[in-house]
């Protein structure tokens, strides 16, 4: 990993620590380490991939270790779960409520997070027209990314 990338990740971890502190949540060593592993990953990473990596430095880690850390990080909006992939990625907008939408490339597996308010609003209105009170929208669009697309 480049020095630049390490610096960026360190800054993201500090930002996460700030978010947690302001909200009275404890970003423990374990949780910070798991968040670090997700930030280091090049793309979506599964719970058991994280577990394998975590075990390199924390031999006694078991599935609940990872799932509890993931639950915490999701509850603090520091990461997202991609339901389609059963995998996890960092939030682009650390620690804030935001409308998240994901573009998943079927060729290369790359995932791009976007935040499109027009689409989010349209979905909210569509739900409300049914008398439904939306709390969270899962939006995962599968297709081909710009780099993989050859017409």
Which residues would be at the binding site for DNA (CB under 7 A)?
25-26, 28-31, 46-48, 58, 60-65, 67-69, 72, 86
93: contact with a copy of itself by CB under 8 A? no
**Strand 101-105 vs strand 111-114: parallel, antiparallel, or unpaired?**
antiparallel
Residue 142 interaction partner, one of a copy of itself, DNA, none, beta carbon < 5-8 Å per kind: a copy of itself
Distance CA 139, CA 109 (A): 16
| Shortest distance, position 129 Cβ to a copy of itself, whole Å | 8
Q: Which stretch binds a copy of itself (CB under 8 A): 6-14, 15-23, 43-51, 140-148?
A: 140-148
101 binds a copy of itself, rule: CB under 8 A:
yes
CB neighbour class for 79 (10 Å; exposed up to 12, middle 13-18, buried from 19):
buried
- Mention every residue, 6+ apart, whose C-beta is less than 8 A from residue 58: 30, 33, 65
Of the ranges 37-45, 71-79, 88-96, 142-150, which one interacts with a copy of itself (CB under 8 A)?
A: 142-150
Tokens of 142: 């599968």
C-alpha–C-alpha distance, residues 30 and 20, integer Å: 14
Interacting residues with a copy of itself (CB under 8 A): 83-84, 101, 103, 105-106, 112, 114, 116, 118-119, 121-123, 125-127, 130-146, 149
């Amino acid at each position: 990993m480049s020095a630049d990338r390490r610096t960026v990740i360190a800054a993201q971890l500090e930002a996460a620590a700030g978010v947690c502190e302001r909200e009275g949540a404890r970003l423990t060593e374990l949780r910070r380490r798991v968040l670090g592993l997700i930030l280091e990953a090049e793309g979506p990473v599964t719970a058991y991939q994280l577990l394998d990596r975590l075990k390199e430095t924390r031999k006694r880690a078991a599935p609940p270790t990872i799932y509890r850390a993931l639950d915490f990080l999701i509850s603090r909006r520091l990461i997202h779960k991609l339901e389609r992939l059963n995998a996890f990625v960092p939030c682009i907008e650390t620690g804030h409520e935001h409308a998240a939408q994901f573009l998943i490339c079927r060729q290369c597996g790359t995932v791009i997070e976007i935040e499109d308010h027009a689409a989010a609003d349209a979905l909210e209105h569509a739900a409300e027209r049914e008398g439904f009170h939306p709390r969270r929208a899962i939006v995962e669009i599968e297709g081909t990314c710009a780099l993989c697309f050859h017409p």
